[in-house]
Copies of this chain bind each other. A is one copy, B any other.
Amino acid sequence: MTSAEKHNRMANAIRFLSMDAIEKANSGHPGLPMGAADVATVLFSRYLKFDPKNPLWPDRDRFVLSAGHGSMLLYSLLYLTGYEDMTIEDIKQFRQLGSKTAGHPEYGHASGIETTTGPLGQGIANAVGMAIAERKLAQEFGSELQNHFTYALVGDGCLMEGISQEAIALAGHLKLNKLIVFWDDNKITIDGAVSLSDSTNQIARFKSVNWNTIEIDGHDQDAIAAAIEQAQKSDRPTFIACKTIIGFGAPNKQGSHKVHGSPLGAEEIAATRKALNWEADAFSVPADVLDNWRLAGLRSTKARKEWEERLAAAETEKRAEFVRRFAGDLPGGFDSALDAFKKKVAANNPTVATRKASEDVLEVINGLLPETLGGSADLTPSNNTKTSQMKSISPDDFSGRYMHYGIREHATAAAMNGIALHGGLIPYSGGFLIFSDYCRPSVRLAALMGIRVVHVWTHDSIGVGEDGPTHQPVEHVASLRAIPGLMLFRPADETETAECWQIALNNKHRPSGLALTRQNLMPVRKEYEEKNLCASGAYELVSSSDAKVTLFASGSEVEIAVKAAEALEGKGVATRVVSVPCVELFFEQSEDYRKAILGKSPVKIAIEAGVREGWDAFIGNDGAFIGMKSFGASGPAKDLYKHFGITVEAVVAAAEAKL
Contacts and interface: CB of A to CB of B under 8 A. Distances in A.
A103 B613 contact: no
A169 B471 CA distance: 27
A233 interface: no
A599 interface: no
A465 interface: yes
B196 A392 contact: yes
A268 interface: no
The listed residue with most B CB atoms (<10 A of its CB), out of A99, A120, A440, A630, is A440
Interface stretch (A78-86, A157-165, A419-427): A157-165
Interface of A: 25, 27-28, 68-69, 95-99, 102-104, 106, 116-121, 156-157, 160-166, 169-170, 172-173, 189-192, 196-205, 207-210, 376, 378-382, 392, 394-395, 404-411, 434-435, 437-438, 440-441, 444-445, 447-448, 465-471, 474-475, 478-479, 481-485, 598, 611-614, 616-622, 628-631, 633-636, 639-640, 643
Nearest to A434: B119
B209 A157 contact: no
Nearest to A618: B621
A4 B99 CA distance: 73
Given A209-B205, A634-B95, A196 B404 contact: yes
Nearest to A628: B484
A571 to B, nearest CB: 27
Contacts of A448: 469-470, 631
Shortest 3 CB-CB contacts between residues of A and residues of B? A162-B162, A97-B635, A197-B406
Contacts of A469: 102, 106, 448
A97 B197 contact: no
A159 to B, nearest CB: 8
A197 B620 contact: no
Contacts of A164: 162, 165
Contacts of A28: 466
Contacts of A99: 634-635
Given A27-B465, A465-B27, A621-B618, A640 B196 contact: no
Given A478-B479, A613-B613, A162 B173 contact: no
A438 to B, nearest CB: 6
A162 B122 CA distance: 12
Contacts of A394: 196
Contact of A169 (B198, B208, B438, B639): B198
A505 B300 CA distance: 61
A199 B190 contact: no
Contacts of A104: 467-468, 470-471, 634
22 contacts: A68-B470, A98-B635, A99-B635, A103-B468, A117-B470, A160-B378, A161-B162, A162-B164, A173-B200, A190-B379, A196-B406, A197-B406, A200-B209, A437-B444, A448-B469, A475-B479, A478-B482, A482-B482, A482-B611, A482-B613, A616-B616, A620-B621
A635 B465 CA distance: 47
Contacts of A479: 475, 478-479, 482-483
Contacts of A611: 482, 484
Contact of A97 (B205, B410, B636): B636
Given A99-B634, A160-B169, A209-B199, A484 B478 contact: no
B378 A191 contact: yes
